[in-house]
Amino acid sequence: MRSTEQDTHFGFRTIPKGEKADRVRDVFIGVSSRYDLMNDLMSGGMHRIWKNALVDWLMPQQDQRILDLAGGTGDIALRIVERQPNASLTVLDLTEEMLAMGRDRAARLRSSGDIAWITGSADALPFAADSFDACTVAFGIRNFPDIPESLAEMHRVLRPGGRLLILEFGHVEVSGLRRLYDRYSFSVLPRLGNLVLNDRESYQYLVESIRRFPRRKEFAGMIEAAGFVNVAVRNMSFGVASIHSAWKI
Ligand SMILES: C[S@@+](CC[C@H](N)C(=O)[O-])C[C@H]1O[C@@H](n2cnc3c(N)ncnc32)[C@H](O)[C@@H]1O
């Protein structure tokens, strides 16, 4: 199928942009109950290190208003309020079922932080311009139907001087390692999804969506095109994941 401006990808398939949010929501409704467990199993706990690195780089300050976009079950928001209980957190996510898990977790942890949980989509944020001091996105952006539009929205809702940090899977550049990583991703992860959740397709989508995500340099260019400056990248675990940092001036 030839791709047009109205199209996007869902894993290796090309679909109309308008269909992607519903498909992605279905994936995350299906995996929400075991999402946190699967993250630990799939990454051997590495996602915790990558997420801690994001919060380290953010260095949340007292009274900061922080938007965690595609915040899911609250993994980033809960880390931030643990580090800085006086920050004010807003978690926005497309999938109510993921947010429900996050709210329950926050209650179980008796998190004393100030966290608002909001259902919405990254390409039409329900916030006024200049509302936040920082915006984080962890493992969410590759799922968005319109990445440039979503980056423009992040730029709009950040105040001048505001900070953007995006953690996403990357591309392993060392060829021997890449072969191993590919073999692990394409053969082990869908099987694990099948075993734990009886859902092979969602984890096949996960692996394919990672391969379709732009390379680091191209993604840095997209962030700049949305109006951000001082874009910097940190690679982790041989490029399996990376963090892009940028500022609105
Ligand atoms: C892989 S999870 C990441 C959750 C969390 N940030 C973490 O690191 O554990 C991806 C999340 O992105 C959300 N998502 C996907 N498309 C979205 C969109 N267009 N707007 C907002 N959230 C979206 C999904 O509902 C899901 O909760």
Kindly report the CATH number assigned to the domain that includes residue 91.
3.40.50.150
pTM score, whole prediction: 0.94
The Cα–Cα gap between 92 and 90 comes to: 6
Contact 246, 230 (CB under 8 A): yes
C-alpha 96 to ligand 1 mean position (Å): 10
pLDDT value of residue 49? 97
φ, ψ of residue 87 in degrees (nearest 5): -85, 155
53 in a structural domain: yes
pLDDT value of residue 60? 97
191 in a structural domain: no
Which amino acid residue places its CA nearest to atom 9 of ligand 1? 75
Residues of the chain with pLDDT under 50: 1-2
C-alpha 135 to ligand 1 mean position (Å): 14
Which amino acid residue places its CA nearest to atom 8 of ligand 1? 138
221 in a structural domain: yes
pLDDT value of residue 171? 92
Tokens of residue 238, six digits: 């041989």
Q: What is the DSSP letter of 34?
A: G
- Closest ligand 1 atom, CA of 36? 9
Query: Which domain, by its residues, includes 26?
Result: 7-174+201-247
Q: Which amino acid is at 203?
A: Y
The Cα–Cα gap between 115 and 214 comes to: 31
231 in a structural domain: yes
Show the ligand 1 pocket: residues with CB < 6 angstroms. 21, 24, 28, 70-72, 75-76, 93-95, 98, 121-122, 138-140, 143-144
pLDDT value of residue 112? 63
68 in a structural domain: yes
C-alpha 122 to ligand 1 mean position (Å): 9
φ, ψ of residue 162 in degrees (nearest 5): -80, 160
Residues in the chain, overall count: 249
190 in a structural domain: no
Q: Which amino acid is at 222?
A: M
C-alpha 28 to ligand 1 mean position (Å): 8
C-alpha 92 to ligand 1 mean position (Å): 9
- Give the helix/strand (H/E) hosting 42: helix 35-43
pLDDT value of residue 196? 87
Which one of 32, 142, 143 would you pick to mutate in the ligand 1 pocket, going by the greatest count of ligand atoms within 8 A of its CB? Answer: 143
Tokens of residue 168, six digits: 């996403």
181 in a structural domain: no
The Cα–Cα gap between 39 and 36 comes to: 5
Contact 69, 92 (CB under 8 A): yes
C-alpha 20 to ligand 1 mean position (Å): 13
Give per-residue pLDDT as tens, 40-67. 999 999 999 999 999 999 999 999 999 9
187 in a structural domain: no
pLDDT value of residue 114? 83
Number of domains, the chain? 1
Tokens of residue 65, six digits: 């208003």
pLDDT value of residue 9? 87
